[in-house]
Amino acid sequence: MKPFLIIIIKYSLILFILLLADSWLFSYAHIHIPEYIPRTPIRTYGFTIFCIYLPLMIIALKSALKTEPQIKLLKLFVIGFIISSVPDMLVQLIRAMIYDYDFFMFIKEFWVTAFGFTAYDFLIAFQLKTKRTGILIALILLLCVVIKVIEYLFPQLLPG
């Protein structure tokens, strides 16, 4: 377990620093960054978080897999979940204190990112461990359907 603890601490710290820097860049830096990527409905802030998160998680989970090649998919997923959830919760706590969020707003901000990170963690762990791309594509399509159902049933939970 000790090598995994080192991996978790290392990549959690890196993700925390990068998420904090991203939050500062979009909130406090006096740089004009458009809210949306031009001619798309994609928010710039969310896109940068995705660009930070995805390669970092692939590297972190590959590192865990390299440490123990026989690791179970569930354990690999849990490692990814911890790496992504702890830094995100800390960044959301810092943002909650700065912007004086109420508890519901904090939970909403954390829930949305945690759900997204958790889904990505599973998909990354699944692909790295099994290398079954066809099933991965089916899981991604299923995730899209679940998001649309949540968006339809609980529109107040999703940002935007």
Predicted local confidence at residue 21, as pLDDT:
93
| CB atoms closer than 10 angstroms to residue 150 | 13
Residue 70, by phi and psi: left (phi above 0), alpha (psi -120 to 50) or beta? alpha
Residue ranges covered by each domain of the chain: 2-157
Q: What is the pTM of this model?
A: 0.84
Query: Residue with structure tokens 């820097």?
Result: 21
CA distance 73 to 65: 10
Residue 117's closest CA among 151, 79, 152?
79
Residues 6+ apart with CB under 8 A from 122: 77, 80, 139
Predicted local confidence at residue 151, as pLDDT:
80
Instruction: Print pLDDT tens along the chain (160 aa).
Output: 688 999 999 999 999 999 999 988 888 878 888 888 898 888 898 899 989 999 999 999 999 999 999 999 999 999 999 999 999 999 988 888 887 777 777 787 788 788 888 988 999 999 999 988 888 889 889 988 987 888 888 877 665 5
| CB atoms closer than 10 angstroms to residue 15 | 24
